[in-house]
Amino acid sequence: MAWWSATHSESMDGMNTTRIIELRQSQGWTQERLATESGVGLRTVQRLEAGQDASLETLSLVADALKVPVRELFSVIEDEGLSMRVDSLEDRTVEQQTARDRISTAWRWLYVGVGIICTLVAFTVPYGVVLVLSYWVGGFLILRALRRIVIEPRLDAAYPLSKERPTRRERRRAEAQRPAETPAESTV
């Protein structure tokens, strides 16, 4: 269901003017790259840049790819209804991300709490070092697998506006790749 009506985007000079072209070009991305990064079709990106209508979900995907709030996709939002829907989306996104982070943190603390108990118990039994190492190494691998196979897919379903926080390793890898990316990609 389109919520950003074509009547509100008759021209780029009209109401609700988008900044998608500007934001995409500032990243040094082509339309194809934006489509790939956001998970929408190339034709959808072309329609958005032409000022045609889009669903709230589509705008959210594009905003996530460009690493900006949905509101920043527009230079001006004069339609009060659109402004209220964008504000509502941003509020729901924050609420869902907070809930998701709370659950993820609870799982980590559960792992640490059980680990502390295992470590304390290990001091009372022979070969306790084996128990400690088994728990911390094996438990970490099991928790990681559970997160990828069970927990994260359920969190994705329960909180569709939220996303998994990248690990430190993933953040470092992304930072290392940034300088390697060149603005040599042509901008359409």
Q: What is the pTM of this model?
A: 0.67
pLDDT tens per residue across all 188 residues of the chain: 344 433 333 333 334 678 999 999 999 999 999 999 999 999 999 999 988 888 888 988 899 899 998 889 988 777 788 888 888 988 998 999 999 999 999 999 999 999 999 999 999 999 899 999 999 999 999 999 999 999 999 999 999 888 887 777 777 887 787 655 445 444 44
Domain residue ranges of the chain, discontinuous segments joined by +: 6-78, 99-163
- DSSP code per residue over the chain: ---S-GGG-SSTTSTT-B-HHHHHHHTT--HHHHHHHHTS-HHHHHHHHTT----HHHHHHHHHHHTS-GGGGBS----HHHHHHHHHHHHHHHHHHHHHHHHHHHHHHHHHHHHHHHHHHHTTSTTHHHHHHIIIIIHHHHHHHHIIIIIHHHHHHH-TT--PPPPHHHHHHHHHHTTT--TTSPP-
Fold of 6-78: 434 Repressor (Amino-terminal Domain) (1.10.260)
